[in-house]
Structure formats: structure tokens, C-alpha cells
Amino acid sequence: MAIYRFEMARALRTLWQSLVTPVITTSLYFIVFGGAIGSRISHVGGVGYGSFIVPGLVMLSLLTQSIGNASVGIYFPKFTGTIYELLSAPISSMEMVLGFVGAAATKSVILGFIILGTAALFVPIPIAHPLAMVAFLLLTSVAFSLFGFIIGIWAKGFEQLNFVPALLVTPLAFLGGAFYSIDMLAPPWRIITLFNPVVYLISAFRWTFFNQGDVPIAVSLAATLAFLIGCLAVIAWIFQTGYRLKN
């Protein structure tokens, strides 16, 4: 598909920004949190702290990159006016979504594996359920790329484009157990944390590594699928009504 190939080619032109910079940032997270906190908390749930935070680091980068790649991908055609050429081209709305979302998800999955490889240089990373890990990596990338696509259509400027990843997703990831287990919290705070949707993503991804999570894997999977279906419903409504596409 032409849109998919174009978006992947754009990623290759900005390889430093697309891949190298997030890897360096994640490595710094790993060094700082693994060194500073790991010296005080050696194990969490029987897992070494350095290994314990790897799924959270991967998920943090995966969420922000999936949203960022997809939102920028659809926003720039709106910004330059070429979106009208896409809308008038002989392609369906599904093909357009598959092109932008597929490219964003592909870049995010590649980044996830690169971060895993980088983390493996620091600590051992056992993967109890490798197939489930890959499947959940793909599912999360697609779900949040769809969410990013919605943000790119909704945004009227670069400020709104960066608002959700910077001021919503990243804080939720930090508060969602990326660097700790929510079982370590006092009961009232643990209950409040369960209203954070990112908890279910990080818990499920951590389960694929260590066969343990903060919430049951079935609940996490159901929450992720519900989010994905909700995003698909919103995108279908956008193309049906032309919301911020045709006016």
C-alpha cells in the first residue's frame, strides 16, 4: 500500500528521531531507575528489580511512540492540505487507516524489540510466554496507533497534537506500575490505581515475561480489546461524518 510505504520511508529518513533517540531515552530511564531504586529494592515479587522494570519501559515507549507516529502521520496531510487528495483518491477509508495505523504500529513494534535487545545488555530477561508477548505487543501497538490516528484528526495545532502523549499518557504510565508493583501501594491507593487503564496494559505485558501481573491477564486482555474496539468505532464515526476531515 502506497500510504504504508510512504510512512515507512519517512521513518527511515528520520531514523535518529524514530529509533535511536527513544532507545537512548529508555536506556537512561533504565540506568537511573535501575541504579537508584534497584540499589534499595533488590526484588519485586521474586523478580530482580532491573528485570522487573523492563516490561514497563517497553510499554512506556510503545504507548508514546504508537500515538506519536500515528498522530503525526495523519496530521501533516491535514496541515498541508493533501488530505483532500487522499479523500478523493480511489481508496477506501479502511485502506487509509490501514496505511497510517499499520506503519505506526510497525515502527512501534520494531522499537519495542530494539528496546528489549538493549535492556538485555543490562539484565537477564526471561520470557515465560514469548508468543503471548509478541501478540500483546502487536495488539497494544495497533490499539494505540488507532488512538493516535484519532488524536491527529482531532488536533487543530501542534499544541493539541502533543497534549495527550505528554500530559496524559506518560503520567498514566508512570502511575500505572511501570517501575513498581501496585501491590506495594496502600489499599486505598491501590484501588484508585485500578481506574488507570495503563495498569492493565503494563500488567498483561509483565505477565508474558514473569507469569505474574498486578491484575488477572483475562481482565487486562478484555480491557485492551475494549479500547481497540472503541477506537475503531470512533474512527468509523469520523469517516462517516467527515469530522475535521471535510471542513
Cα 131 from Cα 127, distance rounded (Å)? 9
Give phi and psi for 48, each to the nearest 5. -55, 140
Cα 221 from Cα 84, distance rounded (Å)? 37
pTM over 0.85: yes
Cα 70 from Cα 109, distance rounded (Å)? 13
Cα 210 from Cα 110, distance rounded (Å)? 22
CB 207 within 8 A of CB 213: yes
Please give the pLDDT value at position 208.
96
Please give the pLDDT value at position 45.
78
DSSP one-letter string for 215-233: S-HHHHHHHHHHHHHHHHH
Please give the pLDDT value at position 49.
85
The number of helix segments (H) and strand segments (E) in the chain equals: 13, 2
Q: What is the mean pLDDT of each run of 10 residues along the chain (247 residues)?
A: 80 71 76 68 80 90 89 88 81 88 92 88 89 95 94 87 79 85 87 90 94 92 94 93 79
Q: Which amino acid belongs to residue 212?
A: Q
92: which DSSP letter? -
44 - beta bridge partners? Answer: 47
> Rounded to an integer, what is the distance from CA 33 to the centroid of its chain?
20
Task: Please tell me whether residue 243 adopts helix, strand or coil conformation.
Answer: coil
The length of the chain in residues reads 247
CB 136 within 8 A of CB 161: no
Nearest to 148 by CA among 235, 69, 243, 67: 67
Cα 148 from Cα 142, distance rounded (Å)? 10
Residue with cell 485502506: 95
Half-sphere exposure of 140 (CA within 13 A, CB side): 30
